[in-house]
Amino acid sequence: MTSKMGFTRRGLLGAFAATAVTAAPTFSKAAGLLRGAGDIRRLRMYSSKTGESVNTIYWVDGEYITDALAEINKLMRDWRQNEIKKIDTRTIDILAASHNALDVNEPYLLLSGYRSAATNAMLRRQSRGVARNSLHIKGQAADIRLASRSVSQIAKAAQSYNAGGVGRYFGSNFVHMDCGEVRTWRG
């Protein structure tokens, strides 16, 4: 919604966030939220498959920003089927907190976000490393990489939050993060 002065809520929040200092989180891990994400949460990510990117503040002072989440959902869609699914905000929080812990400005390269059942089945036929009941199908997982950080560094950052699954795929140079059970593996 645009105000009489031509400002949008999102624009004002973005301007505020650009000048704000990220404060310590106000919620505990016991409440299911991540330490390290801060009072302002940002996600920087791009997809080489679609050429799209996001660099958005999606959470401010305890409130998710609907338009920003919609941008993230679109970027993380199943590009093979052009199918969008709501990405679980817990996964987005894990991605953002891990990125913040790595202290980089470089955006994540998204290899896989949401996958339709059809896409997941096709990928399973091509690789035994694809789970039948993948959390990607539920919009609860992402496979990412950073050129400036190793698989081990990215995985260690994600694991430090003890908030979901973290898979290390050294051969393919990516890290899987999800909001499922806390577990780790090597692919």
* pLDDT exceeds cutoff 80 at 92: yes
The CA distance from 162 to 164, in Å, is 6
Would you kindly state where each structural domain of the chain is located, as residue ranges?
9-17+24-186
Write the CA distances from 115 to 78, 81, 106, integer angstroms.
Answer: 5, 9, 25
**Domain 9-17+24-186 indexed as CATH 3.30.1380.10:** yes
- What is the phi/psi pair of residue 125, to 5°? -65, -25
Give the global pTM.
Answer: 0.78
Mean pLDDT calculated for residue range 79-104: 96
Per mean pLDDT, which range of 52-56, 77-81, 124-128 is the poorest? Answer: 124-128
